[in-house]
């Protein structure tokens, strides 16, 4: 099976001539994929609601996924969940574009991937930590203290710290 080059492409042609406030919900359940900018998604689940407005197609999207990240404290890899939801208007005409500058393409195919990539990148924590109480590494021997207490830490514990 080859990966779809445009897994998040939606043809909105059917909405362009539909009455105002016609809407349609589209669900996504996609396998692991790399969407660029170092984002290796472990699968992607999403719900997108498309609504025909007077000025364009309103997209209301909810996506959840996860990436494999390295913990800055213990250096172990772990699964970091990523969730995002956003609303954007794809305008019919250049004179009604929003600050995002999105316009419905002439062929009616909206590719949500570039937009989703931007929104997911914001959600990646600056400091990735595997869990809130991660104990990190021993500064003397480098032992991962989540897995094992080394002699140095046992020493510190004995001296009552
Ligand atoms: Zn950790
Ligand atoms: Zn140690």
124 Cα: distance to centroid of ligand 1 (angstroms): 16
State the pLDDT at residue 121. Answer: 95
CA distance 119 to 64: 11
Closest ligand by atom to 141 CA = 2
76 Cα: distance to centroid of ligand 2 (angstroms): 17
**pLDDT tens, 73-122?**
999 999 999 999 999 999 999 988 999 999 999 999 999 999 999 999 99
| Element at 67 (helix H, strand E) | strand 56-70
Closest ligand by atom to 70 CA = 1
Closest ligand by atom to 133 CA = 1
Q: Are strands 40-41 and 44-52 parallel, antiparallel or unpaired?
A: unpaired
154 Cα: distance to centroid of ligand 2 (angstroms): 9
Closest ligand by atom to 150 CA = 2
Residues in the chain: 161
Q: Rounded mean pLDDT of the chain?
A: 93
Helices within the chain (DSSP H only): 13-16, 113-123, 151-158
CA distance 83 to 4: 22
Q: Are 143 and 150 in contact (CB under 8 A)?
A: yes
149 Cα: distance to centroid of ligand 2 (angstroms): 7
Report residue 4's pLDDT band, with 50, 70 and 90 as the boundaries.
Answer: confident
126 Cα: distance to centroid of ligand 2 (angstroms): 27
Classify residue 112 as exposed, middle or buried by CB count within 10 Å of its CB (0-12, 13-18, 19+).
buried
CA distance 57 to 90: 5
State the pLDDT at residue 124. Answer: 95
135 Cα: distance to centroid of ligand 1 (angstroms): 7
pTM, full prediction: 0.86
Please compute the mean of the pLDDT values over residues 47-69 and round it to a whole number: 97
Closest ligand by atom to 152 CA = 2
CA distance 101 to 147: 50
123 Cα: distance to centroid of ligand 1 (angstroms): 19
**pLDDT tens, 116-144?**
999 999 999 999 999 999 999 999 999 99
Residue 89 to residues 27, 73, 75, Cα–Cα distance (Å) = 19, 41, 41
């Amino acid at each position: 099976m080859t990966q779809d080059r445009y897994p998040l492409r939606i043809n909105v042609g059917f909405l362009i001539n539909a009455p105002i406030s016609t809407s349609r919900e589209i669900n996504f359940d996609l396998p692991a994929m790399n969407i660029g900018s170092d984002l290796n998604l472990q699968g992607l689940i999403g719900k997108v609601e498309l609504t025909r407005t007077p000025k364009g197609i309103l997209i209301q999207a909810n996506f959840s996924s996860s990436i494999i990240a390295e913990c800055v404290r213990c250096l172990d890899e772990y699964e970091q969940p990523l969730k995002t939801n956003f609303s954007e208007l794809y305008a019919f005409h250049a004179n009604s574009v929003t600050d995002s500058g999105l316009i419905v393409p002439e062929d009616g195919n909206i590719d949500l991937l570039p937009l989703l990539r931007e929104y997911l990148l914001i959600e990646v924590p600056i400091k990735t930590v595997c869990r809130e109480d991660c104990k990190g590494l021993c500064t003397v021997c480098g032992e991962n203290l989540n897995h094992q207490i080394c002699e140095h830490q046992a020493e510190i514990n004995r001296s009552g710290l």
